[in-house]
């Protein structure tokens, strides 16, 4: 039988499979979760596991054509990872819900605090300078295409935050985006 997995093991597996971006993304999310979840009761172990695992379905080793990455991440967690962790059945359900519902395009309501925290932290990660940097890093090497994706994502996220601190951070990041996008458009001379 396979050895039990710890959170440190998940961190290392995320580092191995995530092509360099996944660990830093997860660590930023955990920092945001601490900030927006201050005072809320949540399971920190389940929260950390869900945060490390939420994008595994996008990793080349797990991605499946035609399967949305959040659903694929849930499948991988449920069949390959959680059975090897020392988590209660209730904690495993929280992890699976948080993973499946983390994407901002998923409008289904969350049941657990952990799922809400992961979704709102992940949405914040698409805003501000870090959000724009992520979109430009993702490519393609077409400024106009990246610009459109940033605008579309901002529209899809704006107004969706429910946690007070998440709303505050979102407003700061949205203001920064507005200024930076104005500079981008100015410097593009109408030719992004």
Number of domains in the chain: 2
Distances (CA, A) of 134 to 69, 111, 163, 190: 17, 29, 24, 23
Q: If residue 91 lies in a helix (H) or strand (E), which one and from where to where? A: helix 89-100
pTM of the model: 0.95
pLDDT at 55: 98
Q: Is 137 contained in some domain?
A: yes
Residues 158 and 74 in one domain: no
- Looking up residue 5, the CATH number of its domain turns out to be 1.10.472
pLDDT at 1: 53
Stretches where the chain sits below pLDDT 50 are none
Residues 65 and 100 in one domain: yes
Q: Is 118 contained in some domain?
A: no
pLDDT at 2: 74
pLDDT per residue as tens digits for the range 169-192: 999 999 999 999 999 999 999 999
pLDDT at 181: 95
Q: Is 24 contained in some domain?
A: yes
pLDDT at 20: 85
Cα 115 from Cα 101, distance rounded (Å): 7
């Amino acid at each position: 039988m396979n050895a039990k997995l710890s959170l440190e093991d998940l961190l290392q597996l995320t580092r191995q499979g995530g092509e360099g971006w996944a660990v830093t993304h997860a660590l930023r999310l955990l920092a945001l979760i601490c900030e927006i979840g201050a005072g809320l009761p949540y399971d920190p172990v389940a929260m950390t596991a869900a945060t490390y695992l939420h994008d595994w379905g996008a990793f080349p080793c797990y991605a499946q054509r035609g399967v949305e990455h959040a659903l694929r991440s849930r499948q991988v967690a449920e069949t390959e990872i959680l059975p090897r962790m020392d988590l209660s059945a209730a904690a495993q359900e929280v992890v699976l819900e948080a993973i499946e519902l983390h994407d901002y395009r998923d409008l289904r309501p969350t049941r657990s605090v952990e799922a809400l925290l992961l979704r709102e932290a992940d949405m914040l990660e698409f805003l501000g300078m870090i959000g724009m940097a992520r979109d430009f890093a993702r490519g393609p090497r077409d400024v106009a295409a990246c610009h459109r994706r940033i605008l579309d994502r901002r529209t899809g996220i704006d107004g969706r935050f429910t946690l007070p601190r998440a709303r505050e951070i979102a407003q700061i990041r949205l203001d920064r985006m507005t200024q930076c996008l104005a500079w981008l458009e100015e410097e593009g001379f109408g030719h992004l």
